[in-house]
Structure 1
Amino acid sequence: MCTNGINTDQFEMMIEQIDDHIKLERRWTHNLAHKAEDAGFETVGEKLHTAMTMLDDIRALLDDAKDALEDDARDASGVTVELV
């Protein structure tokens, strides 16, 4: 469905694609943090754990963006086009 010139389904899929990418980066960051800590690089491990937390925050914001997309599309004043 398109609302005000935006294909909302495709837009949502693009947000999900970004989320999938961030999820993968978070997993690698998690693995590297533990490798660093196991090797005695405590500061590096700490920084990587902080980065993991930030990536979690980004994923939460992406979820919020998906919710906002639905709300904005529902409340949009303008033309809505649906494929029939």
Structure 2
Amino acid sequence: MCTNGVNTGQLEQMIEQVDDHVKLERRWAHTLGHLAGDAGFATVSEKMHAAQALLDDVRALLGEAKDALEDDAAAASNVTVNLV
């Protein structure tokens, strides 16, 4: 469905793609944090775990954006076009 010239289905898929990418990077930050910690690099480990926490925040915001997509599309007052 398109709303105001935006294909909302595609927008939702793109948000999901970004989330998948961030999920992968979060996993790497977690792994590297443990690798650094196990090697005795405490500061590096701390920074990598802080980066992991920030990526968790990014994923939460992406989830909120995806949830808000339907509400925003429904509230849009311009023309809505459905593919038949």
Give the shorter-chain TM-score range. over 0.9
Quote the Cα distance in structure 1 between the aligned partners of 2:39 and 2:50.
18
Quote the Cα distance in structure 2 between the aligned partners of 1:55 and 1:70.
24
For 1:22, the equivalent position in structure 2 comes to: 22
Sequence identity (%): 70
For 1:4, the equivalent position in structure 2 comes to: 4
Unaligned runs of 5+ in 1: none
Per-residue CA distance 1:7-41 (angstroms, 9 max, x = gap): 00000000000000000000011000000000000
Alignment of 1:55-70 (within 5 A): 55-70=55-70
Which amino acid is the alignment partner of residue 41 of structure 1? F
Task: Give the TM-score, by structure 2 length.
Answer: 0.98
What secondary structure is seen at the aligned counterpart in 2 of 1:78?
coil
Displaced runs of 4+ in structure 1, greater than 4 A?
Answer: none
Equivalent pairs counted in the alignment come to 84
Per-residue CA distance 1:50-73 (angstroms, 9 max, x = gap): 000000000000001111111100
For 2:75, the equivalent position in structure 1 comes to: 75
Unaligned runs of 5+ in 2: none
RMSD over aligned CA atoms reads: 0.5
Quote the Cα distance in structure 1 between the aligned partners of 2:74 and 2:54.
30
Task: Give the TM-score, by structure 1 length.
Answer: 0.98
